Amino acid sequence: MKAIKWLVSPSDRVTRENVALILARLFNEHEKPRVLIIGGGTIGQGMTPFYEDQNIELVSFDIYASKHVQFIADAHSVPLEDNCFDAVIVQAVLEHVLDPKGVVDEVHRLLKPDGLVYAETPFLQHVHEGAYDFTRFTESGHRLLFKQFGLVKSGVNSGAGTQLLWAFEGFFRGLFRSRLVGKVVKLCLCWLMLLDRLIPESYNIDAANGVFFLGSKANAAVGDEEIITHYKGAQKHAKF
């Protein structure tokens, strides 16, 4: 069963690299960094280092109880004081909240000056979590959402190949009215995810399954022009 789960949802190389970068920056500036994980009811893909490193003061919460959280709360209104974390992680959460900007404002409030935020959010994915799935973001739209933060790194954490796999799963699930059929198709075509590495980053940006943003808390928001020029997709020099 674990082998099957790994095939259809392998450890994300991009996430691992980003987590390594975050940890390197944190430990370069703090002896014992304080990290908050929003939506930490389960350990997210690639997030294990935050839970295992004894030199990290980890705080985690979700809307339900689990062994991985210290308290239950709504991410729109976190019952913690201002400027108290060196980093905040928001993985696969913002698509499930009613007001993504409100949650990002809370992240900004909770972070210390120059504190880091890391988010992963879907772009081209079919609905998951049923009625509790509300929003999708392009890579540029994700940057706009985090306009109160300076850019450290952003891009695609799962690309066009993974997006195609999700599309096939959703298509066959609907065609046969069967979740099981969708999962079988996903297992048979899981090799499509490997194609992400063969597709240039600019094309993956325009057809991404999911995007990420790593930034640092800033005193002023970036302007609209900077958001527009941020675009890194394959249509950058297209003439409309």
- Tell me the per-residue pLDDT of 133-169, one tens digit each, with 9 for 90 and over: 999 999 999 999 999 999 999 999 999 999 999 999 9
Q: How far apart are CA 188 and CA 209, in angstroms?
A: 19
pLDDT value of position 238: 66
**Residue 35 predicted with pLDDT over 60:** yes
Mean pLDDT of the chain, nearest integer: 93
Global pTM reads 0.93
Grade residue 193 by pLDDT with cuts at 50, 70 and 90.
Answer: very high
CA dihedral (211, 200, 9, 189) positive or negative: positive
pLDDT value of position 236: 80
**Residue 6 predicted with pLDDT over 80:** no
Q: Which residue's entry shows tokens 């109160």?
A: 148
Q: Which two tokens stand for residue 34?
A: 């304080």
Domain ranges of the chain: 2-159+207-218
Taking residues 43-69, what's their average pLDDT? 96
CA dihedral (229, 24, 156, 37) positive or negative: negative
Bridge-based pairing of strands 57-62 and 71-72 is parallel
Q: Does residue 183 contact residue 169 with C-beta atoms inside 8 Å?
A: yes
* CATH architecture label of 2-159+207-218: 3-Layer(aba) Sandwich (3.40)
**Residue 11 predicted with pLDDT over 60:** no
Phi, psi values for residue 217, rounded to 5°: -60, 130
CA atoms within 13 A on the CB side of 8: 14
Grade residue 12 by pLDDT with cuts at 50, 70 and 90.
Answer: confident
pLDDT value of position 240: 54
Q: What is the DSSP letter of 237?
A: T
